[in-house]
Structure 1
């Protein structure tokens, strides 16, 4: 697998109306992002990581790894894939909710044409097809502007939606969740989507491959729907690193000993917040046990974070031990 792409530039994928496609999103104004001029793109090949090579820890075989690592500055960074995907020194972020879009930021070991990168003060998903678009304005047509929707899963089954994401990501697809902004049939729903494709033909071809690959398995239907997401879904970064700079307060919940418990609480939290994330790390360098952490952000002042804590405790009495922290 190719290594993490260094010094990459993000170019926003514009939505374009050559074909008429059913859109499940409400259009919102597109935000343009300027690109620095004369920036070189460097791509390095590195060796495939050894999943269990982290100190002397006997890590479970089903542990998923992440190279999106929390740091002091710029708060998050993408570590080289040759580095450990889990450690006792750093928190590795594995799930990010940014408004209605949810990314499972694990590091798949399958070959793929996309990577997480830090670029232009943001953590983004970078597709290889975008590299040429930086140099060649005509190549911008290669940017993806379509997704395929595979299934919608009700809010109460959020852990199942994440499990399906894991399956798709580990098979090399860029999959993500998009939560409905309103309730249908009295529930919020998570749309499991795979993106992004430059045209309908590519979207339908991939949708057919996925349907055939998972044929006969539970939860994966033989049906899929090409959709044209709104600009915010296409262009929103996984993490905007300017947010913690301007709003340095977060809310932290008590640590969890299992990912399942963290996901259960995350299901409740993400319908009430604009940004939340789950991270994991080893309890110690010699331990194979993982611990998990949920944080909610970002707040300009401690008082603002306190108001959110009060609101969450009032709605979810089980969240009794939340605390505000300054990053």
Structure 2
């Protein structure tokens, strides 16, 4: 009996041991096998797109509740922030900042449109994903394409820089407001778009070309043009008359503002402040073919509870040089009759 009992005890001990070992092995396998912890259910997250003030906004529609934030001198941008606004400051006169810090409207002047020789850039850019942003590179503010960052680091890779653009349309001087609308539309779609003014007159008028850049090849540029045309085919914003072009070297330089200019040439011509964006922007095509640099800015005025718009023209070394240019422009354009000379 004792031997039988002993066998039963041994068998019971072995069975219990195997059960314990089996449980441990199962637990270990569940930790090692990643499939046991991967859920097949996909969760979706809805991201609300921040609101922005369009180029043609009616200032009466802006609530004073959105104008409580006054922006101080911009701090270095944290990684992943959105560089989507140009704020005018004392030094170095402009800073590229995160538009989320800026708020919807601000009491500080914010640059909206810049004319640099033949090129015009709309500077309020979307906060959602795009391939480009404004950056401050030394003494310059310029456009930088994310896909070109590596090419800038390697001199042998510069051939990868975009050297083509697609011209979506070309509008005469009289349709300048429409050109601005199309420019804003493309920028808000995430494209790097700009206006390029013709140097010579055609049919007795200056023309404004609406372009998107920059691409490594003509085929890529043409493909983007086709995508834009098809997207707006129903509304008729663009015709099928678009084509790839080779931009001028000044267009391809990527430079928006040379910050050295206001340091060495601190005097500028300032036009009277307007409360109507249509009136302010309508002044631009009347004189920019005779100036090398001008910019349109906006800010929120607490007293009137409205947006204000201001145009400044040029950088000049002395008040005499600025005054001479102001008188010359005043003789041809009524908008300069009440202009004044200011120091940055």
Q: Which TM class, normalised by the smaller chain length?
A: 0.7 to 0.9
Q: How many residues align?
A: 275
Q: Highest CA radius of gyration, 1 or 2? A: 2
| CA apart distance, 1:266 | 1.2
2:160 corresponds to: 142
- Name the CA shift for 1:66/1:162 in 2 (closer, same or farther; >3 Å): farther
Q: Report the Cα distance in structure 2 between the residues aligned to 1:48 and 1:119, rounded to whole angstroms.
A: 29
2:337 corresponds to: 320
| CA apart distance, 1:168 | 0.5
Report SS of the residue matched to 1:183. coil
Report SS of the residue matched to 2:281. helix
Written as runs of structure 1 = structure 2, the 5 A alignment for 1:51-70 is 51=52, 56-57=65-66, 67-70=85-88
Q: Report the Cα distance in structure 1 between the residues aligned to 2:63 and 2:159, rounded to whole angstroms.
A: 42
Q: Match for 1:253 among 271, 290, 309?
A: 271
Of 232-241 and 304-313, deviating more is: 232-241
2:182 corresponds to: 164
- Name the CA shift for 1:132/1:249 in 2 (closer, same or farther; >3 Å): same
Report SS of the residue matched to 1:266. helix
Greater share of residues in helix: 2
Whether the 8 Å CA contact 2:197–2:209 is kept in 1: the answer is yes
Q: Report the Cα distance in structure 2 between the residues aligned to 1:258 and 1:234, rounded to whole angstroms.
A: 33
Q: Report the Cα distance in structure 1 between the residues aligned to 2:291 and 2:155, rounded to whole angstroms.
A: 37
Q: Report the Cα distance in structure 1 between the residues aligned to 2:84 and 2:279, rounded to whole angstroms.
A: 19
Of 87-96 and 273-282, deviating more is: 87-96
TM normalised by structure 2 equals: 0.75
Written as runs of structure 1 = structure 2, the 5 A alignment for 1:1-327 is 49=50, 51=52, 56-57=65-66, 67-235=85-253, 237-284=255-302, 288-327=305-344
Q: Deviations over 1:251-273 (max 9, x none)?
A: 00010102111110111121121
1:20 corresponds to: none
Alpha-carbon RMSD across the aligned residues, in angstroms, is: 2.4
Q: Which has the higher contact order (CA 8 A, sep 6+)?
A: 1
Whether the 8 Å CA contact 1:86–1:282 is kept in 2: the answer is no
